[in-house]
Structure 1
Amino acid sequence: MSFDRENLESVLKRRFFYAPAFDLYGGVSGLYDYGPPGCALQANIVDLWRKHFVLEEDMLEVDCTMLTPYEVLKTSGHVDKFADWMCRDPATGEIFRVDHLVEEVLESRLKGDKEARGLAAEPDKSEEKKRKKKVKEIKAVKLDDETVAEIESVLAQIDGYSGPQLGELMKKYNITNPATGGPLSEPLEFNLMFETAIGPSGQLKGYLRPETAQGQFLNFNKLLESNNQKMPFASASIGKSFRNEISPRSGLLRVREFLMAEIEHFVDPLDKSHPRFVEVADTKLRLLNKNTQQEGRTDIDEMTIGEAVKAGVVDNETLGYFLARIYLFLIRIGIKPDRLRFRQHMSNEMAHYAADCWDAELQTSYGWIECVGCADRSAYDLTVHSNRTNEKLVVRQTRETPLVTEDYEVELDKKKFGPKFKKDGKKIETYLTSRSQDELESLAAELDEKLKITVTVEGVDAPVEVEKELISISRKKKLDHIREFTPNVIEPSFGIGRILYSLMEHSFYIRPGSESRAVLSFPPLVAPTKVLLVPISNDEKFGPFLRQISAALRRVGISSKVDDSSATIGRRYARNDELGTPFGITVDFDTLADKSITLRERDSTKQVRGSIEEVVKAVQSMVAVEPVSWEEGTANLTPFTSEAEE
């Protein structure tokens, strides 16, 4: 049976996994509230993330403020570059994100071509119904083979196009407003950050953070000290981030407020090996490399991460180690391996400072969705913040063998320098002593030739002339016992909401033989509630047993829920299958006689019977951090047959 997104969304809405925020007031696009099962599912995913990464890798977790001053994000490049391309319909005022519009229109034309050729295109019953504005029905139009190949090539490279290139594609393929057919404006850049003012005066300009990374970079020296000055090490942060999406849709996949979990792994730029790489070297990943995309193809290479690093497909061991660990985490929470790939950023898509970057993409009914990014950001962030603040964000290590260096050094005649430049003296001195070796070499040559140097110093009104009698710039030999370097950063960045929604799609199915019985087959480890407690009837005699079982489960940290409604047991099971509850415990009349209870497994609907202690122990083993299978966990219990599923 093909996937029915409308059916899934009906279940998620009815059972309040999440819902549009401010619904009573008409809602605000891109903002959502999580209900009880959604909160529990997200909390369990985050808890496992902490165990899988923070605990396993001995990371240093921080929680930084969401309000960020303008200067910080100006320095990091977000003010100038954190933007997407948008276009507007002048007639209706409707705004579109250009890359998504081009992708959607071209994909719909390929779909129309398949329909025209009589091929089986996968149905998507909810695509048009979910649009708030009426969209014209896609007509089945046959394309010639050359155009089909051309469009497929464009779609394979869609993430790498610049704004002007997207504008050319709009002209070439006559892309207009899908709802009205009206013309659209040229692409314009739109900064995605939410601007705000900090303090009552409004003079301190700021933004809601678009990521959690900058707080980790700014606290680098404190983190290094917390790690006893040892390298390499990693910090981690989980918290809300904000992006003012141009046209948010697709539910939790494109929102304006979302939970992120980010890691900054600081590593020596001269040694990007990883001591635990051997543990994951044989992990097989599905890779879509940049060369394949640039050729207009989307062919997947399956290889171990060890092979990928050795062949240079993945830049280094530490980056490869985290790609494998990301894969293992996603599989562990229930993502389907055949619907997970790692796509490498193309050369024209990758940030100028990045050595390599891969996205973990999950296949959903909306297509391939980026859910985790993993980048080697080199030393960019620490370097720009250090330059802006004049604070060193570096690591200092004692050399085993001292290094002989011969560098240019600046010496000033302080007795004459101070009186000459007075209040500007400190600014000029700071400027001169902070020059690079190349700059000092040029200044030394100028000083020898002209017997003075002329420099422009920020904060000083006019160019400054410094005569030779005030300054000396010469090369001097010295023994360097300390190696000082700016670490590189490997950054895995997780969009928790996107992962959560993709997991819902990957876990959803309709029970065979019953179109109305939906199931969310979450792994027990992340399921919102682990156990459903069901009395055979609402007879008060069952109350003490339900309380005893519930208390026993609580003592071992297992969440449970009692359903003592008048519905049939089969109906009560079905309602909780929709919530993803993996196990059900039934208390019946035999319990009154011998204190035995029945344990049911959600997906197979198999049942076993045993004492309260035996059943609780079995459940505990199957919801543990390293869980056992149903067969292993219930090996000592007695198989049981019931007609309760009818």
Structure 2
Amino acid sequence: MCEDKNSMRLEMENLLKRRFFYDQSFSIYGGVNGLYDYGPVGCAIKINIINLWRRHFILEEQMLEIDCSMLTPEIVLKASGHVDRFTDLMIKDTETGECFRADHLIEGYFEKLLETKDIDDEKKTEIKQLLPQIGNMNVEDIQQLIEKYNIKSPNTNNKLSEPIAFNLMFSTSIGPISQTKDYLRPETAQGMFVNFKRLLNFNQGQLPFAAAQIGNSFRNEISPRSGLLRVREFTMAEIEHFIDPIDKTHSKFDTVADLEIQLYSASNQINGETAQLIRLYDAVHSKLINNETLGYFIGRIYLYLIRIGIDKNRIRFRQHMDNEMAHYACDCWDAECKISSGWIECVGCADRSCYDLTQHTKFSGQRLVAERQLSVPKRVQITERKINSTIIGQIFRKDTSIVVKYLENLSENQAHSLHEKLEQENEKCTINEKEFIITRSMFKLETKEKIVQVEEFTPSVIEPTFGIGRLLYVTLEHNFKIRPEDNQRKYFTLPPLIAPYKCAVLPLSVNAEFKPFVKQISDLLTQANISHKIDTSSSNIGKRYARCDELGIPFAIAIDFDTLQQPYSIALRELESLKQVRVKIDEIVSVLQDLATEKVTWNEIFALYPIFTEQQTKRLEN
């Protein structure tokens, strides 16, 4: 059995390609970097990971799920900051023109340098301190590193160009005569922000509440690499949990407070220390984690990762350092999983403050706010718009609705500015490329005093973001194994909840007497919504078991000669232990349902049913 991590990874990736878990898109035409197609097995595992996510978060937390358009107008992404700031630094080979993502190229160069004996301890310490910071360096910092360490193009050893910012969004146009630039969405979050008012109304105006969305996003990566870990089209699952900024407690925090989780704080990273195992309660109450709601979601993310089969000993939450924290964020932690190539970010969990709703209010003119009840009523000055639609109608006639809507949608600043201008003279406004003269008799602001029981505020947002493809890859790598007695026997120990099929149905041979039982059992499983794979090929049952093991099918039903005798029964085999029990056919559905939903463990079933040790089957299997 191969012990080397890289060898194990290559063995696994060869298996994934051979059994078509996934493969590069359009491969018969040479393939396209960063695009992947999921085959039957990969597709099933991906769907099961998503379904478990939906159950773990949306159902258990009573979130509001929506499904928004992937095509996004430029104004939306201008408001969110993506148009101006959603960039990576790109450098080129000055001779060949080959493009590289700057931080990845430098990180790879430093990692190789650390493996050599050509540098002294002082230089190694310097590089180790630089590595965590490279991803957040600006153009000048990157250029200085390239010059200081004389970094060259990795494939040709040619000189590198100066880094430039490259926007990662795919641009497009909506409609044949679109005058604006539009984009394929780079994330699913914006659909939840722009629908905030509808979601708040659906939730009867009550906070906190969470919206959720699962769907594809697109990023025009400079140099995609590492299979599913960095791609140009991918599935995201995102949550926007809207809360009152003056109350970030969570009613269910106690349910995760005692979890001990590896936390890799900003200070750990700066001081060159390792992650520490810390109880969530202690992390929140010492303010290492900013607030209870953020801590609650870190706990829920951790539990979800374990449920889909990720090794808890290879999970850590890394806190963003000051130089990588968004200016509007209060705190941010990435769930990172360790794989053969190192730590990889799989989930982000950020307190984004009220930035997103504030920005969309500013750009759209729509007030994206909630209300809180005041303990004591207060007297406030309020400004109301007075729009005289009668006069507008008399002057503009068929254009009345256009002008009224324009005046209604002015932002507060725009409304105040127009009011002040109309105090002096009429104002010429361009609406839908047509000019209108607005007078004081049509529009003005009136300020008056009012006693209010509630006050408006802009909610803060806690945002957990999941990369489904990365989670799938990490789960596969963490569960890939090779039989110690036979290095050709490879298998995946996937949790039954996410396994592509819950069981296989395997007749011992092509004997015609077995066919009615194959159909009967398949029909029973289908009626019970238990996914299964039938293999009636002429290969011996040992080879067919091995094929099922390669797909990560946790249980297998063997139809043998004992099945032909009353009471009709089958041999049920578990993938990892290879142990078998004898189960009556009329009980197999309930047994598999309990195993597939993890209501019972294999050990409990093994203790409950007769052990099956039929020698012929065992000999054929081996």
After TM superposition, give the deviation of residue 495 of structure 1 in Å.
0.6
Please say if residues 410 and 433 of structure 1, whose CA atoms lie closer than 8 Å, have aligned partners that are also in contact. no
Give a deviation string over 1:499-550, Cα, whole Å, max 9, x none. Answer: 1111111111111121111111111110001111111110010011111111
Matches within 5 A, 1:541-580: 541-580=513-552
Give the 3-state SS of the residue equivalent to 1:198 in structure 2: coil
Give the 3-state SS of the residue equivalent to 1:263 in structure 2: strand
Amino acid at match of 2:546: A
Listed as ranges, the gaps of 5+ residues in structure 2 are 432-442
Give the 3-state SS of the residue equivalent to 2:223 in structure 1: coil
After TM superposition, give the deviation of residue 9 of structure 1 in Å.
0.9
- 1:158 and 2:130 correspond: no
- Aligned match for 1:85, one of 79, 89, 92: 89
1:353 aligned residue: 328
Relative to the length of structure 1, the TM-score reads 0.86
- 1:142 and 2:118 correspond: yes
Q: Distance in 1 between matches of 2:73 and 2:212?
A: 21
Matches within 5 A, 1:77-116: 77-112=81-116
- 1:49 and 2:21 correspond: no
- 1:178 and 2:154 correspond: yes
Structure 1 residues 472 and 552, CA gap change in structure 2 (3 angstroms): closer
- Aligned match for 2:218, one of 220, 242, 254: 242
After TM superposition, give the deviation of residue 273 of structure 1 in Å.
0.6
Q: Distance in 2 between matches of 1:214 and 1:81?
A: 15
Structure 1 residues 232 and 412, CA gap change in structure 2 (3 angstroms): closer
1:611 aligned residue: 584
After TM superposition, give the deviation of residue 290 of structure 1 in Å.
1.2
Give the 3-state SS of the residue equivalent to 2:119 in structure 1: coil
2:319 aligned residue: 344
Give the 3-state SS of the residue equivalent to 1:170 in structure 2: helix
1:66 aligned residue: 70
Q: Distance in 2 between matches of 1:284 and 1:209?
A: 36
Give a deviation string over 1:318-363, Cα, whole Å, max 9, x none. Answer: 1111111111011000001111111111111011111111111111
2:558 aligned residue: 586
After TM superposition, give the deviation of residue 396 of structure 1 in Å.
2.4
1:434 aligned residue: 412
Please say if residues 287 and 343 of structure 1, whose CA atoms lie closer than 8 Å, have aligned partners that are also in contact. yes
Give the 3-state SS of the residue equivalent to 2:565 in structure 1: helix
Matches within 5 A, 1:298-337: 298-337=273-312
- Aligned match for 1:401, one of 376, 379, 383: 376
- 1:254 and 2:230 correspond: yes
1:30 aligned residue: 34
1:167 aligned residue: 143
Please say if residues 75 and 388 of structure 1, whose CA atoms lie closer than 8 Å, have aligned partners that are also in contact. yes
Q: Distance in 1 between matches of 2:354 and 2:348?
A: 18
- Aligned match for 2:199, one of 223, 235, 238: 223
Give a deviation string over 1:354-397, Cα, whole Å, max 9, x none. Answer: 11111111111222111111111111111111111211111124
After TM superposition, give the deviation of residue 99 of structure 1 in Å.
0.7
Q: Distance in 2 between matches of 1:69 and 1:332?
A: 38
Structure 1 residues 480 and 643, CA gap change in structure 2 (3 angstroms): same
1:620 aligned residue: 593
Listed as ranges, the gaps of 5+ residues in structure 1 are 113-140, 461-470
Structure 1 segments (4+ residues) deviating >6 Å: 410-414, 425-433, 456-460, 471-476
- 1:366 and 2:341 correspond: yes
Please say if residues 365 and 411 of structure 2, whose CA atoms lie closer than 8 Å, have aligned partners that are also in contact. no
- Aligned match for 1:489, one of 461, 483, 496: 461
2:163 aligned residue: 187
Give the 3-state SS of the residue equivalent to 2:160 in structure 1: coil
Amino acid at match of 2:242: F
2:437 aligned residue: none
Amino acid at match of 1:49: W
Q: Distance in 1 between matches of 2:428 and 2:143?
A: 42
Structure 1 residues 307 and 542, CA gap change in structure 2 (3 angstroms): same
After TM superposition, give the deviation of residue 399 of structure 1 in Å.
2.7
Structure 1 residues 43 and 472, CA gap change in structure 2 (3 angstroms): closer
Amino acid at match of 1:162: N
Give the 3-state SS of the residue equivalent to 1:378 in structure 2: coil
Q: Distance in 1 between matches of 2:384 and 2:368?
A: 23
Amino acid at match of 2:584: S
| Aligned residue pair count | 599
After TM superposition, give the deviation of residue 639 of structure 1 in Å.
1.1
Provide the identity percentage: 51
Give the 3-state SS of the residue equivalent to 2:582 in structure 1: strand
Amino acid at match of 1:73: L
Structure 1 residues 436 and 356, CA gap change in structure 2 (3 angstroms): farther
Please say if residues 194 and 207 of structure 1, whose CA atoms lie closer than 8 Å, have aligned partners that are also in contact. yes
Q: Distance in 2 between matches of 1:585 and 1:65?
A: 44
- 1:392 and 2:367 correspond: yes
Q: Distance in 2 between matches of 1:267 and 1:431?
A: 26
Give the 3-state SS of the residue equivalent to 1:11 in structure 2: helix
Q: Distance in 2 between matches of 1:571 and 1:374?
A: 44
Give a deviation string over 1:386-432, Cα, whole Å, max 9, x none. Answer: 1112111111244342123467x699999xx99xxx99x99999899
- 1:2 and 2:38 correspond: no
Please say if residues 369 and 458 of structure 2, whose CA atoms lie closer than 8 Å, have aligned partners that are also in contact. yes
Matches within 5 A, 1:403-482: 403-405=378-380, 434-435=412-413, 478-482=450-454
- 1:76 and 2:80 correspond: yes
Amino acid at match of 2:576: D
Structure 1 residues 143 and 413, CA gap change in structure 2 (3 angstroms): closer
Please say if residues 101 and 222 of structure 2, whose CA atoms lie closer than 8 Å, have aligned partners that are also in contact. yes
- Aligned match for 2:488, one of 509, 513, 516: 516
Amino acid at match of 2:54: R
Amino acid at match of 2:326: A
Structure 1 residues 592 and 100, CA gap change in structure 2 (3 angstroms): same
- 1:269 and 2:269 correspond: no
Q: Distance in 2 between matches of 1:223 and 1:361?
A: 31
After TM superposition, give the deviation of residue 643 of structure 1 in Å.
2.9
2:435 aligned residue: none
Give a deviation string over 1:200-229, Cα, whole Å, max 9, x none. Answer: 114232000000111111111111111111
More displaced 10-residue stretch of structure 1: 240-249 or 218-227:
218-227
Structure 1 residues 619 and 644, CA gap change in structure 2 (3 angstroms): farther
Structure 1 residues 426 and 609, CA gap change in structure 2 (3 angstroms): closer
Q: Distance in 2 between matches of 1:198 and 1:548?
A: 52
Amino acid at match of 1:344: Q
Please say if residues 94 and 161 of structure 2, whose CA atoms lie closer than 8 Å, have aligned partners that are also in contact. yes
- Aligned match for 2:23, one of 19, 23, 31: 19
Please say if residues 67 and 208 of structure 1, whose CA atoms lie closer than 8 Å, have aligned partners that are also in contact. yes
Please say if residues 365 and 409 of structure 2, whose CA atoms lie closer than 8 Å, have aligned partners that are also in contact. no
Q: Distance in 2 between matches of 1:225 and 1:266?
A: 13
Structure 1 residues 284 and 593, CA gap change in structure 2 (3 angstroms): same
Give a deviation string over 1:4-63, Cα, whole Å, max 9, x none. Answer: 211111100000000111111111110111100011000111111111011001111111
Please say if residues 20 and 27 of structure 1, whose CA atoms lie closer than 8 Å, have aligned partners that are also in contact. yes
Please say if residues 596 and 609 of structure 1, whose CA atoms lie closer than 8 Å, have aligned partners that are also in contact. yes
